[in-house]
Protein backbone atom coordinates (compact mmCIF):
# COMPACT_ATOMS: atom_id res chain seq x y z
CA UNK A 1 0.00 0.00 0.00
CA UNK A 2 2.84 2.44 0.72
CA UNK A 3 4.65 1.45 -2.51
CA UNK A 4 2.03 3.12 -4.73
CA UNK A 5 2.60 6.68 -3.48
CA UNK A 6 6.36 6.19 -3.86
CA UNK A 7 5.99 4.98 -7.44
CA UNK A 8 3.61 7.82 -8.26
CA UNK A 9 5.97 10.35 -6.72
CA UNK A 10 8.91 8.98 -8.68
CA UNK A 11 6.99 9.30 -11.98
CA UNK A 12 6.51 13.00 -11.28
CA UNK A 13 10.26 13.56 -10.92
CA UNK A 14 12.50 14.11 -13.92
CA UNK A 15 14.39 10.86 -14.71
CA UNK A 16 17.76 12.33 -13.68
CA UNK A 17 16.42 13.47 -10.30
CA UNK A 18 14.66 10.12 -9.74
CA UNK A 19 17.93 8.24 -10.39
CA UNK A 20 19.80 10.57 -8.01
CA UNK A 21 17.19 10.07 -5.27
CA UNK A 22 17.38 6.28 -5.70
CA UNK A 23 21.20 6.35 -5.56
CA UNK A 24 21.13 8.50 -2.40
CA UNK A 25 18.68 6.11 -0.73
CA UNK A 26 20.91 3.13 -1.59
CA UNK A 27 24.00 4.95 -0.32
CA UNK A 28 22.27 5.67 3.00
CA UNK A 29 21.27 2.02 3.34
CA UNK A 30 24.86 0.89 2.75
CA UNK A 31 26.46 3.55 4.96
CA UNK A 32 24.22 2.95 7.99
CA UNK A 33 23.89 -0.81 8.60
CA UNK A 34 21.72 -2.18 11.39
CA UNK A 35 23.20 -1.27 14.76
CA UNK A 36 24.56 -4.15 16.86
CA UNK A 37 26.33 -3.39 20.15
CA UNK A 38 26.89 -4.65 23.69
CA UNK A 39 25.27 -2.07 26.00
CA UNK A 40 24.83 -1.71 29.73
CA UNK A 41 22.04 0.29 31.39
CA UNK A 42 22.41 1.55 34.94
CA UNK A 43 18.88 1.52 36.36
CA UNK A 44 20.03 2.50 39.86
CA UNK A 45 20.15 5.82 41.68
CA UNK A 46 23.98 5.69 41.83
CA UNK A 47 26.93 6.21 39.54
CA UNK A 48 28.42 2.87 38.51
CA UNK A 49 31.87 1.80 37.24
CA UNK A 50 31.81 -1.10 34.76
CA UNK A 51 34.42 -3.52 33.42
CA UNK A 52 33.85 -6.15 30.73
CA UNK A 53 35.58 -9.41 29.82
CA UNK A 54 35.28 -11.28 26.55
CA UNK A 55 37.03 -13.76 24.26
CA UNK A 56 37.79 -12.83 20.67
CA UNK A 57 40.03 -14.29 17.95
CA UNK A 58 43.14 -13.20 19.90
CA UNK A 59 42.05 -14.67 23.27
CA UNK A 60 40.69 -13.25 26.53
CA UNK A 61 40.53 -9.50 27.16
CA UNK A 62 39.23 -7.43 30.06
CA UNK A 63 38.57 -3.70 29.76
CA UNK A 64 37.43 -0.98 32.15
CA UNK A 65 36.27 1.45 33.34
CA UNK A 66 33.10 2.92 31.93
CA UNK A 67 31.50 5.41 34.30
CA UNK A 68 27.75 5.10 33.84
CA UNK A 69 25.54 7.77 35.37
CA UNK A 70 22.37 6.95 37.25
CA UNK A 71 19.46 5.93 35.01
CA UNK A 72 21.53 5.94 31.80
CA UNK A 73 23.05 3.51 29.30
CA UNK A 74 26.51 3.15 27.79
CA UNK A 75 27.79 1.17 24.80
CA UNK A 76 30.67 -1.04 25.99
CA UNK A 77 31.46 -2.75 22.68
CA UNK A 78 30.46 -1.46 19.25
CA UNK A 79 29.45 -3.69 16.36
CA UNK A 80 28.08 -7.21 16.05
CA UNK A 81 28.94 -9.46 18.99
CA UNK A 82 31.67 -12.01 18.27
CA UNK A 83 31.01 -14.36 21.20
CA UNK A 84 28.09 -15.88 23.05
CA UNK A 85 29.39 -15.19 26.57
CA UNK A 86 30.52 -11.86 27.99
CA UNK A 87 31.50 -11.09 31.56
CA UNK A 88 30.66 -8.00 33.63
CA UNK A 89 31.93 -6.56 36.90
CA UNK A 90 30.41 -3.34 38.23
CA UNK A 91 30.95 -1.17 41.31
CA UNK A 92 28.49 1.27 42.89
CA UNK A 93 30.52 4.45 43.39
CA UNK A 94 27.96 6.25 45.56
CA UNK A 95 26.66 3.61 47.98
CA UNK A 96 29.31 0.91 47.73
CA UNK A 97 28.67 -2.67 46.70
CA UNK A 98 29.20 -4.51 43.45
CA UNK A 99 27.81 -6.81 40.83
CA UNK A 100 30.22 -9.75 40.60
CA UNK A 101 30.42 -13.47 39.92
CA UNK A 102 32.66 -16.51 39.84
CA UNK A 103 34.40 -15.95 36.48
CA UNK A 104 37.79 -14.65 37.63
CA UNK A 105 39.59 -12.23 35.34
CA UNK A 106 42.22 -9.53 35.64
CA UNK A 107 41.39 -5.91 36.40
CA UNK A 108 42.86 -2.87 38.12
CA UNK A 109 41.57 0.31 39.73
CA UNK A 110 42.67 2.62 36.88
CA UNK A 111 41.57 2.48 33.24
CA UNK A 112 42.76 -0.79 31.66
CA UNK A 113 42.84 -3.19 28.75
CA UNK A 114 44.38 -6.49 29.84
CA UNK A 115 45.08 -9.47 27.57
CA UNK A 116 44.75 -12.88 29.23
CA UNK A 117 43.14 -14.06 32.46
CA UNK A 118 45.99 -16.09 33.95
CA UNK A 119 48.32 -15.09 36.80
CA UNK A 120 46.58 -11.75 37.45
CA UNK A 121 48.30 -11.11 40.78
CA UNK A 122 51.75 -12.12 39.52
CA UNK A 123 51.32 -9.71 36.58
CA UNK A 124 50.45 -6.83 38.93
CA UNK A 125 46.67 -6.86 38.44
CA UNK A 126 43.70 -7.61 40.70
CA UNK A 127 41.88 -10.96 40.40
CA UNK A 128 38.21 -10.00 40.10
CA UNK A 129 35.04 -12.10 39.90
CA UNK A 130 32.90 -11.19 36.88
CA UNK A 131 29.36 -12.46 36.27
CA UNK A 132 28.51 -14.26 33.05
CA UNK A 133 26.11 -12.87 30.44
CA UNK A 134 24.77 -15.43 27.96
CA UNK A 135 23.74 -13.50 24.84
CA UNK A 136 22.38 -16.61 23.14
CA UNK A 137 24.56 -15.66 20.13
CA UNK A 138 22.49 -12.53 19.44
CA UNK A 139 24.09 -9.77 17.35
CA UNK A 140 23.44 -7.18 20.08
CA UNK A 141 22.69 -7.29 23.83
CA UNK A 142 21.85 -4.94 26.69
CA UNK A 143 22.57 -5.71 30.37
CA UNK A 144 20.35 -4.01 32.97
CA UNK A 145 21.85 -3.24 36.41
CA UNK A 146 19.27 -2.72 39.17
CA UNK A 147 19.22 -2.08 42.91
CA UNK A 148 18.43 -4.94 45.29
CA UNK A 149 15.09 -3.31 46.12
CA UNK A 150 14.15 -3.44 42.42
CA UNK A 151 15.19 -7.07 41.81
CA UNK A 152 15.00 -10.23 43.87
CA UNK A 153 18.57 -11.54 44.01
CA UNK A 154 19.29 -15.08 42.87
CA UNK A 155 21.93 -15.31 45.59
CA UNK A 156 23.43 -12.64 47.84
CA UNK A 157 26.85 -11.23 47.04
CA UNK A 158 29.60 -11.28 49.64
CA UNK A 159 30.82 -7.83 50.70
CA UNK A 160 34.03 -6.59 49.05
CA UNK A 161 36.58 -4.16 50.41
CA UNK A 162 35.67 -0.66 49.20
CA UNK A 163 37.86 1.16 46.68
CA UNK A 164 37.90 4.31 48.80
CA UNK A 165 37.68 5.05 52.53
CA UNK A 166 34.25 6.72 52.23
CA UNK A 167 32.48 3.76 50.63
CA UNK A 168 31.33 1.04 53.05
CA UNK A 169 30.70 -2.32 51.37
CA UNK A 170 27.08 -3.32 50.80
CA UNK A 171 25.30 -5.84 48.65
CA UNK A 172 23.22 -4.43 45.80
CA UNK A 173 22.00 -7.05 43.39
CA UNK A 174 23.01 -10.54 42.38
CA UNK A 175 24.08 -11.30 38.82
CA UNK A 176 22.25 -13.86 36.75
CA UNK A 177 22.90 -17.42 37.92
CA UNK A 178 25.64 -19.41 36.23
CA UNK A 179 28.83 -17.34 36.44
CA UNK A 180 31.33 -19.81 35.04
CA UNK A 181 35.09 -19.58 34.74
CA UNK A 182 36.27 -18.58 31.28
- The full set of domain ranges for the chain reads 1-32, 37-150
Helices 15-31 and 3-12, packing angle to 10 deg: 130
Q: Is the pLDDT of residue 42 over 90?
A: yes
Cα 23 to Cα 88: distance, rounded to the nearest angstrom: 43
Cα 168 to Cα 153: distance, rounded to the nearest angstrom: 20
Q: What confidence score (pLDDT) does residue 95 get? A: 93
Band (pLDDT 50/70/90 cuts) for residue 49 is: very high
Q: Is the pLDDT of residue 62 over 70?
A: yes
CB-based contact 176:131 (threshold 8 Å): yes
Q: What confidence score (pLDDT) does residue 3 get? A: 41
Q: What confidence score (pLDDT) does residue 32 get? A: 42
* String of DSSP letters for 145-167: E--GGGS--SSPPPP---SSTT-
Q: What confidence score (pLDDT) does residue 12 get? A: 43
- pLDDT tens-digit profile of 11-27? 444 555 445 444 444 44
- pLDDT tens-digit profile of 123-177? 999 999 999 999 998 889 999 999 865 544 344 333 333 333 333 333 334 343 3
Give, in order, the Cα–Cα distances in Å from 178 to each of 53, 105, 133: 15, 16, 9
| Nearest alpha-carbon partner for 9 in 29, 25, 30 | 25
Amino acid sequence: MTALPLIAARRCLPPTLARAATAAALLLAITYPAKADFRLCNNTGSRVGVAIGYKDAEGWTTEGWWNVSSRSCETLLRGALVARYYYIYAVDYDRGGEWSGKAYMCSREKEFTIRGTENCLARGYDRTGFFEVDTGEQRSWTVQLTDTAEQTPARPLPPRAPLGPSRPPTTLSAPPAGGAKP
